[in-house]
Amino acid sequence: MNGKDYIDIVKDTIDRAYNGQTEAVNAASDALAAAVESKHNVFVFGCSHAGIIAEEVFYRTGGLAVINPIFFPAMMLNTRPITMTSALERVSGIGTVILDQNNVKEGDLLILHSVSGRNTVPVEMATEAHKRGVKTVCITNLNYSRAVTSRHPSGKRLFEVCDIVIDNMGEKGDAAVTVEGLPEKIGPTSTAVGAALINAIVIDAVNKMIADGTVPPVLMSANLDGGDEHNAKIFTEYKDNIFYM
């Protein structure tokens, strides 16, 4: 298999993940639309590479201005040594601290991205969020997650503690391409599929807001004429729901 095969795998996986989970995807877009319309807060979190999805959808041209990333420095890809991210996402207590320090409260929406869904921090965040009346959505890999044990004290994996579960339809271990002569697979699909899924959820939510008569707070490119002015109005209107400025 080669690069072309990888592209084909990604396209097929995106198609299956979106079109094969209509109920879950609709529920996620409903939850997002409802949170924005009720002026509650929206947060996205992931550890290490899973956090790329949070970067994808905040302060983004064509995206909702009110999506707030949660960036815990020790779990981001600029951490050195990078192996520290793997160690820390297994530590109890950190997930609760992250929620405490990021304005996450009753009525809010928390989107969690974790491919294996086994590590302590995202599971703890989902569990604690539920106690606080926060709606949770996870994007995970059910094939992968069901094949591993939880590292959380409860013994539960992320898909077992979230309100809405979306499967990225990836392979166990995430990598999807087999190359002759190489025992390990290459070509992980979770980032490409996760980015497609979360953007599709945003688009579906925007359509629902428009149908409800709500003007969605969608950002324009700052490099287009009028973009700065358009965005400034959104930042003013939604100042209480934006925490990354």
Which domain CATH number covers 233? 3.40.50.10490
Chunk the chain into consecutive blocks of 10 residues (it has 245) and report each block's average pLDDT, rounded to whole numbers: 96 98 98 98 98 97 98 95 96 97 96 98 98 98 98 98 98 96 97 98 98 97 97 97 96
Structural domain count, the chain: 1
User: What pTM does this model have?
Assistant: 0.97
The tens digit of pLDDT for each residue in 171-205 reads 999 999 999 999 999 999 999 999 999 999 999 99
Report the C-alpha gap between 84 and 219 in whole angstroms: 35
Q: Which amino acid is at 32?
A: L
Structure confidence by residue, pLDDT tens digits, 212-239: 999 999 999 999 999 999 999 999 999 9
Domain limits at 192? 3-241
DSSP string, 14-41: HHHHHHT-HHHHHHHHHHHHHHHHTT--
Rounded Cα gap, residues 110 and 231, in angstroms: 24
Rounded to whole angstroms, the Cα distance separating 193 from 56 reads: 12
H/E stretch holding 227 reads helix 227-237
